[in-house]
Amino acid sequence: MKSPLNCDEQAVRPGATTRRTLRFGSEDRSFPLDSTCDRHLHTSADILHVCRMATIIDSKLRPLFRKKSVIRTRDLARLGLPRTALGVPLADGMVSRLSHGVYAVTGYDVSEHHSFAQAAVRVPHGVVCLLSALVFHDLTTQSPHEVWLAIDRKARQPAERFPPLHVVRFGGEALSAGSTLHQIDGVPVRITTPAKTVADCFKYRNKLGISVAVEALREGWTKRRFTMDELWAMARVCRMHNVIRPYVESLA
């Protein structure tokens, strides 16, 4: 006696048939379909689904590419897209991989401070400070090859290698006070204010050199990048008011 075939065996038997119910108006009609035709219908449905998903992904990614020069996979999550959504743009050269989870948009017209945007994408909790902030505010002739970034004393050390970072650790008010948010190449970047930057430079004068701090003070005051009240407020935050006082008096 032959054993009854299960559903899978019936599906692969040559010439096997199945029935599909289609609805026409208020009637349900059942039609026999051979297994080959059924597979073709499934394949067509899969192709339509893939094309539909590709259209949805493209409609969400293109505005993101126009808005930001550097994106992370978390940006895709906010749009409800999977990480694999970047597969086609990567293959087409629309984006390039900078590091794990970080991608650069090809052809984006970037600014001279693009490295600050890249650093902010990699370390969102960081604050651009010291030499890099001096460059941003045009208060120095220095040209650092690293992005100086302040992070909390208890924060994890950034593992990213590009762009090169020079990490310093600030604590409490020294990190939270005296910084403003700037948009650089579509990326929000937090940078210390001119007054806070000058105070920080005096605090780190042994590492930067006192000449850098004095130059920043003179340039900032000459270009009116801060008021004396703003400078003293930031000097107190950094506990540098007694150190800065004689240099301020020399400006008079």
Residue by residue, pLDDT tens for the chain (252 residues) are 444 444 444 444 444 455 555 444 445 545 455 555 555 545 544 444 445 545 656 677 777 777 777 777 777 777 777 777 777 777 777 777 766 667 777 766 667 888 898 888 888 899 999 999 999 999 998 888 899 999 999 888 887 666 789 999 998 899 999 999 999 887 889 999 999 999 999 999 999 999 999 999 999 999 999 999 999 999 999 999 999 999 999 886
Query: Tokens for 58?
Result: 């493209």
192, containing H or E segment? strand 187-192
190: three-class secondary structure by DSSP: strand
Under 8 Å between Cβ of 176 and 102: no
| Total-model pTM | 0.65
Query: Tokens for 189?
Result: 């970047």
Under 8 Å between Cβ of 196 and 237: yes
Query: Tokens for 241?
Result: 């008011």
Helices 228-237 and 241-249: crossing angle in degrees, nearest 10, is 150
DSSP-derived letter for residue 3 is P
Specify the CATH number for 37-105; select among 1.25.40, 1.10.10, 2.60.40, 1.20.120: 1.10.10
119: three-class secondary structure by DSSP: helix
Under 8 Å between Cβ of 204 and 198: no
The pLDDT tens digits of the residues spanning 63-74 come to 777 777 777 777
Under 8 Å between Cβ of 62 and 86: no
State the Cα–Cα distance between residues 8 and 164, nearest whole angstrom.
58
Domain extents for the chain?
A: 37-105, 114-249
